[in-house]
Amino acid sequence: MKLFLILFLICLLSVNCFAAMHENQWMPDTSDAIIVYQWDDSLPADQRVHTVKEIIRHDKNHPNMTMEQEYAAILEENQRKNKVYGQLLGISALSQTITNPDGSSSIILKNGITVNFSYTGTDPNRILVISVSGYMLSLQQKSVIQNWCDNNLGIGKVQIN
C-alpha cells in the first residue's frame, strides 16, 4: 500500500503523468510526404506544440535532413501557402462569404475560381509560385499581394503569376 501511495504521489507531481498525447497522420498538399505528428491535448489549443513522431514517406524535395528539419521545412512551406491563400481570399472579386449549417460563416473562393500553387527551386531557397484561374488579377492586386508576401514571408519566397 505504501508503494502504491508513493507511486501515485510521484505520478501526481509529474507533469507528464496525465498528459493525453494524441497523434495524427498528415499528408500536406504542398508535399508528397506522409508525416505522423503528436501533441498533448491536456494543454490549451493555443499552447500546444506539434512534434514530429515519424515520417512514413519522405519528401523528395527535402533530402538529407533530420526528421525534425524535414517536418519544419514542410510545415513552413504549407503555412506559407496558407497565408498567401488567406490574403487572396481578402480580394472581394475572388471570394464570397457563405453561412455554414451551424450559423457561422466562412470565406471561400467564388465558383469557377481556383488558386494554383507549386514550389520551385531547392532547399533552402524554394519559391512558392501562385496563380489564379477563372479571374485575372490586376497589376495592382498582384502588387498588393506580392508586397504583403515580401514584407511578411520574406523577399523572394513567393511569386505571384
Confidence of residue 42 (pLDDT cuts 50, 70, 90): confident
- The structure's pTM equals 0.81
Collect all residues with Cβ–Cβ distance below 8 Å to 80 and sequence separation of at least 6: 128, 153, 157, 158
pLDDT in tens, 128-138: 999 999 999 99
User: Any idea which residue has 491563400 for its cell?
Assistant: 85
pLDDT in tens, 62-117: 999 999 999 999 999 999 999 999 999 999 999 999 999 999 999 999 999 999 99
Confidence of residue 5 (pLDDT cuts 50, 70, 90): very low
CA-CA-CA-CA dihedral for 76, 81, 83, 89, to nearest 10? -170
With beta carbons less than 8 A apart as the criterion, state whether 68 and 42 touch: no
Give the pLDDT of residue 77: 96
